[in-house]
Amino acid sequence: MRMIDLIAKKRDHEVLTTEEINFIINEYTADRIPDYQVSALLMAIYLNGMTDAETSALAKAMLDSGEVLNLDLIPGIKVDKHSTGGVGDKISIPLAPLVASAGVKNPMISGRGLGHTGGTLDKLEAIPGYDVDETVDQFIKQVSEHGTAIISATKDVAPADRKIYALRDVTSTVESIPLIASSIMSKKLASGTNALVLDVKTGNGAFMKTEERARKLAETLVAIGRQNNVPCVAYLTDMNQPLGYAIGNANEIKESIAVLRGEGPEDVTELTLILGAEMLVLAGISKTTAQARAILEDHIKDGSALAAFKQLITDQGGDASIVDHPEKLPQADGQVDVIAQASGYITAIETNELGLASVKIGGGRAKKDDIVDPAVGIMMHKKLGDAVKAGEPLATLYVNTEAPEEVQAQVLNSFTIGETKPELPPLIHEVIR
Ligand code: URA
């Protein structure tokens, strides 16, 4: 088999066989195919797509490229959650301790920020001492004893995804349904979870900008789960504005703590409860999502969810006193308000641009090796449908350098102010099982 022929096949809209896909993944993981040939193939896949059978074969080949964790030592049904990525999407942080406090075994292998989107690991690393690297044995022990651990994938989990992901990032081939689906599912299936709740974002801050593409991605993810005996439920959720008010790592930890205290923004709290309730049902703890939600609400009220967050931080070497003293989290030196130039209602928010603005002030990476500044970010003051008066702040930039004028303009231009109050998008667009 020759890689050059397989590239030509995909270029010419032909269908790759499972054997051919296995050859590509095995040879590339073993460094026997050069990056430039795989880049060409990725672009052909991006442009011409893949059949469902090709996508499943790709996910399976990427899963088999490395170790599959055996979590049998952890008693019960293991349930995880994964988001396709958004701006201000900190849901995993309140969700993991909340469901753990209700008895779910949640082995969570998370990712870092990607493009304009933030990543759970970067957010957790804003907590002094929090270590995202654990051995498999530590991971199993922690999930068995305390219900959750949030760690980074080891280099042996889906190594093909690591290599392919890095190439996609620099070849403009990220926003492809077969490539995203195989990337996510290879990692999630390798993590040994028994069931999965998927949060598939749709809107101008998501990789899938239209509902139609988000639905196709969700269906593809659920189908791959089914083929691998891992039941998945996918929620199509709105990303036409940031989730909550905080964007940026330390800011998002503070907002997550507020959710666990019952004082968080409505959208973050609601989505945490909805996804968490689905996890309790998949774990067999509750029969209905209504029952599950009541349990989770009680665990927020009685403080057990907050206690589980302290436990999670302590287990991973972090300073849990930040939960009662969020002021101990890294603080930015400067704050710059971005001021509304007109009065009216917020009718649209360019969420993607806000994510990029946060990256530019140091909250994310423009290059793979960039160091993220945990203290910087953006705090929203206005969201879709809010009334605003000229002269009022729309958002505040938290900066450790002078805020570039270009970034201030980018944030200002992310808000559209109109005369009439707009209809608000639903938080949940659809559920796919
Ligand atoms: N998250 C992933 O893990 N992979 C993608 O391709 C996109 C989002």
Q: 79-322 has which CATH code?
A: 3.40.1030.10
φ, ψ dihedrals at 42, nearest 5°: -60, -40
Q: What span, in angstroms and rounded, lies between the C-alpha atoms of 312 and 98?
A: 11
Question: Is residue 117 lining ligand 1, measured as CB closer than 6 Å?
Answer: no
pLDDT classification of 368: cutoffs 50, 70, 90: low
Average pLDDT over residues 42-62: 97
The protein residue with its alpha carbon nearest to ligand 1, atom 6, reads 180
Are the beta carbons of 97 and 150 closer than 8 angstroms? no
What pLDDT shows up at residue 338?
98
pLDDT classification of 369: cutoffs 50, 70, 90: confident
Question: Is residue 83 lining ligand 1, measured as CB closer than 6 Å?
Answer: no
What pLDDT shows up at residue 366?
76
Are the beta carbons of 169 and 115 closer than 8 angstroms? yes
Q: What span, in angstroms and rounded, lies between the C-alpha atoms of 183 and 172?
A: 15
Q: Going by C-beta distance under 8 Å and a sequence separation of 6 or more, which residues neighbour residue 324?
A: none
pLDDT classification of 156: cutoffs 50, 70, 90: confident
Cα distances (angstroms) measured from residue 113 to each of 254, 291, 387? 18, 34, 31
What pLDDT shows up at residue 110?
87
Average pLDDT over residues 156-169: 88
Q: What span, in angstroms and rounded, lies between the C-alpha atoms of 159 and 66?
A: 6
Q: Which amino acid is at 100?
A: A
Ligand 1 centroid distance, CA of 389 (Å): 39
Is pLDDT above 80 for 7? yes
Question: Is residue 184 lining ligand 1, measured as CB closer than 6 Å?
Answer: yes
Is pLDDT above 90 for 209? yes
Pairing of strands 148-152, 106-110: parallel
Write the DSSP string, 75-140. Answer: -S-BEEEEE---SS--THHHHHHHHHHTT-BEEEEE---BTTB--HHHHHTTSTT------HHHHH
Q: What span, in angstroms and rounded, lies between the C-alpha atoms of 335 and 333?
A: 7
The protein residue with its alpha carbon nearest to ligand 1, atom 3, reads 184
Question: Is residue 111 lining ligand 1, measured as CB closer than 6 Å?
Answer: yes
Neighbour tally for 266: CB within 10 Å: 9
User: Does the annotation count 183 as an active-site position?
Assistant: yes
Average pLDDT over residues 55-69: 95
User: Which atom of ligand 1 approaches the CA of 84 most closely?
Assistant: 8
Residue pLDDT, tens place only, 397-416: 999 988 889 999 999 999 99
Task: Say which CATH class 3-49 falls into.
Answer: mainly alpha
57-61 own/partner pairs: CB under 8 Å, 24+ apart:
57/16, 57/18, 57/21, 57/22, 58/21, 58/25, 58/178, 58/182, 59/181, 59/182, 59/185, 59/186, 59/189, 59/224, 60/186, 60/227, 60/228, 61/18, 61/21, 61/22, 61/24, 61/25, 61/26, 61/160
Residue pLDDT, tens place only, 304-346: 999 999 999 999 999 999 999 999 999 999 999 999 999 999 9
The protein residue with its alpha carbon nearest to ligand 1, atom 2, reads 184
What pLDDT shows up at residue 155?
80
For domain 330-418, say whether CATH 3.90.1170.30 is its number: yes
pLDDT classification of 165: cutoffs 50, 70, 90: confident
Average pLDDT over residues 39-57: 97
User: Does the annotation count 429 as an active-site position?
Assistant: no
Residue of 58, 62, 114 best suited for mutating to test ligand 1, as the one with most atoms within 8 Å of CB: 114
pLDDT classification of 179: cutoffs 50, 70, 90: very high
Is pLDDT above 80 for 214? yes
Considering the chain, what percentage of its residues have pLDDT values greater than 90?
A: 88
User: Does the annotation count 82 as an active-site position?
Assistant: yes
Question: Is residue 95 lining ligand 1, measured as CB closer than 6 Å?
Answer: no
* Mean pLDDT over each residue of the chain, to the nearest integer: 95
Average pLDDT over residues 232-251: 98
Q: What span, in angstroms and rounded, lies between the C-alpha atoms of 274 and 57?
A: 32
Average pLDDT over residues 193-209: 96
What pLDDT shows up at residue 402?
85
Ligand 1 centroid distance, CA of 180 (Å): 5
Instruction: Name the token pair of 8.
Output: 């030509």
What pLDDT shows up at residue 376?
97
Are the beta carbons of 150 and 132 closer than 8 angstroms? yes
Question: Is residue 363 lining ligand 1, measured as CB closer than 6 Å?
Answer: no
Write the DSSP string, 255-285. Answer: HHHHHHTT-S-HHHHHHHHHHHHHHHHHTTS
Instruction: Name the token pair of 176.
Output: 């492809």
User: Does the annotation count 187 as an active-site position?
Assistant: yes
The protein residue with its alpha carbon nearest to ligand 1, atom 5, reads 180
Ligand 1 centroid distance, CA of 13 (Å): 24
Is pLDDT above 80 for 265? yes
Question: Is residue 85 lining ligand 1, measured as CB closer than 6 Å?
Answer: yes
- Burial class of 8 by CB neighbour count within 10 A (0 to 12, 13 to 18, 19+): middle
Domain map (residue ranges) of the chain: 3-49, 79-322, 330-418
What pLDDT shows up at residue 105?
97
Is pLDDT above 90 for 169? no
133-137, 200-204, 294-298, 357-361: the lowest-pLDDT one: 133-137
How are the residues of the chain apportioned to helix, strand and coil, as percentages rounded to the nearest 5?
Answer: 45, 15, 40
Ligand 1 centroid distance, CA of 334 (Å): 33
- Burial class of 34 by CB neighbour count within 10 A (0 to 12, 13 to 18, 19+): exposed
Catalytic residue from among 64, 89, 122, 161: 161
Is pLDDT above 80 for 367? no
Is pLDDT above 90 for 234? yes
